[in-house]
Amino acid sequence: MKTKFFALALATGLFLNSCSSSDDTTPVTPPATGEIKGEIAANVTYPYGNYTLNGVVKIKAGVTVTFEAGSTITIDKKTGDNALVVLKGAKLITKGTADKPVVFTEKSKLPGSWGGIIMYGDAPAKVAGGGATGTSEDGNKISYGGTNPTDNSGSLVYTRVEYAGSKLGDGDKENNGFTFYSVGSGTVLDHLVSYKGADDGYEFFGGTVSMTNAISYGNYDDSFDWQDGWQGQANTNWYAYQTGKGNYGMEIEASNNDNAFFPKVSNITLKRAAGNAPETGDNQVDAFQFKKEGNGEYSNIIIDGYGNFTNPAGVTYKGSAVSILDGVTNDHQVKTGKIKLINVKISNTTNINPIGATDAIVVVFPTGAFVTSATATGASLTAGAWATVDGVDLTK
């Protein structure tokens, strides 16, 4: 039997070492190309390639869309409204890696050129007035707010969104790099970059999803923003760099609902570049800003560069590490210890201690709820192609 197998192997070339690597003639597959548009109604995997996204593309319930590592999806604002929308019950999976991220970009490279990635889930929300559902402000006007805290809307890994922040249709506000409506904790958000958008880097409307290893770089409004009772519990390694134009590092609210739940975020870096100015008329210059019953636990924090801002009319606005915007939030959240900032290292910031937006709001954190430190390290991120744009390392 061995003799017969040896003879067969000689005849058919089954020996793996029968040729050297220099003789390998395996063809190299070129990147795929194609246009993505309309509703996606069946499962599809886009292999490594260069694609265009045209219009407001919606992934329907029950459908999974996958992008393989290294793919680039380009949008052209000249085509009108553009966005990638993951509807409730659908899944978006991006299989990026540190050296081969999945990148969504826009041809003109101008902030505010498209609507970014918008994801809807089935996790709970608590909207203004205490209700469990709301209507999205993204132009889609979709009802959000569900009943499944562990809902899974997919997996976004090593993924970058560039130049988002446009309004869609008659939307109430500009969209963000990433927008999450009632997204559940079964969803994976890891190693994401929101780059130079015209609104927030990331915004959460309710939901229970957590996000790890996230960069918000050069976004015009807030780096991180949430409302409607978002309560992700396993968030870590958030890095924000505000340059040119930018408002709050974090805008934190709970839609005027006093509550016992809250998000938790560890390892945070919030940096504001010299010369950075808030959006015209906003005058928002704080690292952490709490309002409308916003709360949460935050630890191992670096805050740098949140100094006072004087607008062109000569009016100076206070820059601070922490600002409380209304008396109700101060009474219900600060005084009861439901806002905690632990191990905070602060530099180049005018007001080190928490302040109120007006002199009538006297902010005094309970003992142990606001603790500064010289040893905080903030976010810890590994550089790579996933966090490099035009040769600039976004992790520094």
The tens place of each residue's pLDDT in the chain, 396 residues long, gives 333 333 333 333 333 333 334 455 666 678 999 999 999 999 999 999 999 999 999 999 999 999 999 999 999 999 999 999 999 999 999 999 999 999 999 999 999 999 999 999 999 999 999 999 999 999 999 999 999 999 999 999 999 999 999 999 877 788 999 999 999 999 999 999 999 999 999 999 999 999 999 999 999 999 999 999 999 999 999 999 999 999 999 999 999 999 988 999 999 999 999 989 898 878 889 999 999 999 999 999 999 999 999 988 899 999 999 999 999 999 999 999 999 999 999 999 999 999 999 999 999 999 999 999 999 999 999 999 999 999 999 999
Helix, strand, or coil (residue 2): helix
Distance CA 234, CA 219 (A): 24
CA gap 68, 100 in Å, rounded:
9
Instruction: Calculate the alpha carbon distances from 358 to 282, 318, 339 in Å.
Output: 16, 10, 19
Rounded CA gap, 343 and 378, in Å?
9
Vertex 130 angle, CA 299 and 118, to 5°: 65
Contacts of 376 (CB under 8 A, 6+ apart): 300, 301, 302, 343, 344, 345
372 strand-pairing partners: 344
CB atoms within 10 A of CB 74: 15
Secondary structure of 75-126 in HEC code, one letter for each residue: ECHHHCCCEEEECCCCEEEEECCCCCCEEEEECCCCCCCECCEEEECCCCCC
Q: Running DSSP on this structure, what letter comes out for residue 245?
A: B
Q: Which two tokens stand for residue 351?
A: 């007001």
Cβ neighbours of 44 (radius 10 Å): 13
DSSP H helical ranges for 119-265: none
According to DSSP, residue 11 is labeled: H
The answer to whether 220 and 176 have CB atoms below 8 angstroms apart is no
Strand partners, 194: 161, 216
Q: How many residues does the chain have?
A: 396
Given the DSSP bridges, would you call strands 309-310 and 316-317 parallel, antiparallel or unpaired? antiparallel
Residue with the two structure tokens 């590994």: 382
60 token code pair: 């329907």
Q: Cα(233)–Cα(84) distance, rounded to whole angstroms?
A: 26
pLDDT number for residue 25: 61
pTM: 0.92
User: Residue 390 has which token pair?
Assistant: 């035009």
* % of the chain beyond a pLDDT of 90: 87
**274 and 243 Cβ atoms separated by less than 8 Å:** no
User: CA-to-CA distance for 108 and 23, rounded, in angstroms?
Assistant: 44
The CA-atom distances, in angstroms, between 7 and each of 16, 18, 19, 20, 147 are 15, 14, 18, 21, 65
| CB contact at 8 A, 237 and 381 | yes
pLDDT of residue 325: 97
